[in-house]
Amino acid sequence: MERVKRILVSDGFNNAMSSIFAILIGLLFGFIILLISNPSQAAEGLVIILKGGFSAGGKGMGQVLYFSTPIILTGLSVGFAFKTGLFNIGASGQFIMGAFAAIFVGVHWTFLPAPLHWMAALLASAVAGGLWALIPGLMKAYLNVHEVISTIMMNYIGMYTANYLVKLTVYDSLKAQSLNTAQTAVLPKLGLDAIFYNTMGGGKDLSTVNCGIYIAIIMAIITYLLLNKTTFGYELKACGFNPDASRYAGINEKRNIVLSMVLAGALAGLGGGLLYLSGAGGRHIKVADILAGEGYNGISVALLALSNPIGIIFSGIFIAYITEGGNYLQSLNYAPEVIQIIIACIIYFSAFSLILRRIIPGIIKRRSENKRGGEQK
């Protein structure tokens, strides 16, 4: 019995339960919206959302993994910064600058052979994202400008800069989007094309998923090890907890603040490269005045996983799964706006896991104290 109690009050159990409760509340709220919009098909609509990528067979699940790849990276970016005491709201700007850099290299650096070409494009995306985050990092470290303000501003500067650069260098005017990258810059499938496909007329209708999901998982593991198993990670976290104490202990807190932002930006930029290096059938940058949604979804992914790099893998896949399921709601004649509202509600209620994490242990503690008090009487 004591062992069960210890599990109930453990951090791991509370973290998992708070995330599950947050997801259930989000789904309940989505169901209420379905009832208001179209009561007769609300139950069927909820089933479609819960079926997620399975609604479209093997290809659908492949698409879930494809769209989870960038938000795992932006989730890692936000979570990594949070673990080191920083709020990186600028993942959208870092993401789109990384995406542009990857496409630029993928289109113009055709002198590189495969696999060096796609590797160079990915490296360029990480460098571009890191450099874009360097500016708010320097402003935070040396001018004490709050990173929330500076990174939000950098989001809009990044969006307009990417639009300008795309039009200037890699623009397909007929389709109003970026050009296709060279085939040597497209990320290889590495066996995933033999798993995630639908059979169509004797052939295969392939999913867009590629080795990017492997890279995302590897980056999550590396981030976990960096934060929890290295002296460098300990110093970064120490600066986040208490910069003054870190300075007293001989840690260069300004350098570590800048490095934290740069590494967070590199993760977000890499996410952009992984999404857009997927060939003609994948994503292209469209010149529009809209911030990259993957950046803001990364905040929800990180909050849902409580900034744990390993948990971010699962929360990223979950949010992509729900989003993919929501897209199939159009088969029940729900308006696209309703679908987007439901998806947004589920995603942002999921972010309440951080609040629930504080509530659930408090409830358990109060019940234990009341029970103990009753036994003493």
Evaluate if residue 21 carries a pLDDT over 80.
no
Rounded to 10 deg, the angle between the 116-143 and 253-276 helix axes is 150
Q: Which is nearest to 264 in space by CA: 148, 137, 139, 353?
A: 137
Evaluate if residue 11 carries a pLDDT over 70.
no
Higher pLDDT, 31 or 362: 31
Token digits of residue 300: 């929800």
User: Is residue 127 assigned to a domain?
Assistant: yes
Instruction: List C-alpha distances in Å: 241 to 13, 15, 50, 237, 245.
Output: 24, 20, 39, 6, 9
Q: For residue 42, name the pLDDT band (cuts at 50, 70, 90).
A: confident
- Number of structural domains, the chain? 1
Q: For residue 43, name the pLDDT band (cuts at 50, 70, 90).
A: confident
Higher pLDDT, 209 or 41: 209
Dihedral sign for Cα 300, 303, 304, 308, please. Answer: positive
- Average of per-residue pLDDT across 197-223: 89
Query: Using CA atoms in the order 362, 368, 370, 374, what is the torsion angle rounded to 10 degrees?
Result: 180
User: Is residue 300 assigned to a domain?
Assistant: yes
Lowest mean pLDDT among 46-50, 244-248, 313-317, 332-336: 332-336
User: Is residue 233 assigned to a domain?
Assistant: yes
Q: For residue 36, name the pLDDT band (cuts at 50, 70, 90).
A: confident
Contacts of 183 (CB under 8 A, 6+ apart): 114, 279
Instruction: List C-alpha distances in Å: 49 to 27, 67, 290, 310.
Output: 9, 16, 26, 25
User: Mean pLDDT score of the chain, rounded to an integer?
Assistant: 86
Evaluate if residue 174 carries a pLDDT over 70.
yes
Largest CA distance in the chain: 82
CATH number of domain containing 297: 1.10.3470
Q: Which is nearest to 279 in space by CA: 184, 160, 163, 143?
A: 184
pLDDT over 90, % of the chain: 45
Of how many residues is the chain composed?
Answer: 377
The whole-angstrom separation of Cα 202 and Cα 90 is 46
- Average of per-residue pLDDT across 145-171: 94
Higher pLDDT, 352 or 326: 326
User: Is residue 121 assigned to a domain?
Assistant: yes
Question: What would you report as the CA-atom Rg of the chain, rounded to the nearest whole angstrom?
Answer: 22
User: Is residue 17 assigned to a domain?
Assistant: no
The whole-angstrom separation of Cα 149 and Cα 157 is 13
Q: For residue 353, name the pLDDT band (cuts at 50, 70, 90).
A: low
Q: For residue 58, name the pLDDT band (cuts at 50, 70, 90).
A: confident
pTM of this structure: 0.88
User: Is residue 193 assigned to a domain?
Assistant: yes
Q: What is the pLDDT of residue 108?
A: 95
Q: Are 284 and 152 in contact (CB under 8 A)?
A: no
Q: What is the pLDDT of residue 356?
A: 63
pLDDT tens-digit profile of 95-119?
Answer: 999 999 999 999 999 999 988 999 9
Domain that holds residue 269: 60-320
Q: For residue 368, name the pLDDT band (cuts at 50, 70, 90).
A: low
Contacts 24+ apart (CB under 8 A), 356-360: 356/17, 356/18, 356/19, 356/21, 356/22, 357/14, 357/15, 357/18, 357/306, 359/18, 360/14, 360/17, 360/18, 360/21
Q: Are 80 and 268 in contact (CB under 8 A)?
A: no
Q: For residue 377, name the pLDDT band (cuts at 50, 70, 90).
A: low
Using left for φ > 0, alpha for ψ between -120 and 50, and beta otherwise, residue 144 falls in left
User: Is residue 93 assigned to a domain?
Assistant: yes
Is residue 56 exposed (0-12), middle (13-18) or buried (19+ Cβ within 10 Å)? buried
Q: Which is nearest to 196 in space by CA: 185, 210, 182?
A: 210
- Average of per-residue pLDDT across 302-331: 86
Mapped onto helix, strand or coil, the DSSP state of residue 205 is strand
Q: The tokens 């992914």 sit on which residue?
A: 301
Q: For residue 19, name the pLDDT band (cuts at 50, 70, 90).
A: confident
> Degrees (nearest 5) of the Cα angle 111, 114, 117?
60
**Across the strands, what pairs with 177?**
172, 286
- Average of per-residue pLDDT across 128-136: 96
Q: The tokens 């989870």 sit on which residue?
A: 68
Q: Which is nearest to 236 in space by CA: 208, 216, 259, 213?
A: 259
Type of residue found at 320? A
The whole-angstrom separation of Cα 274 and Cα 216 is 9
Q: What is the pLDDT of residue 128?
A: 97
User: Is residue 157 assigned to a domain?
Assistant: yes
pLDDT tens-digit profile of 273-302?
Answer: 999 998 888 889 998 888 888 888 898 889
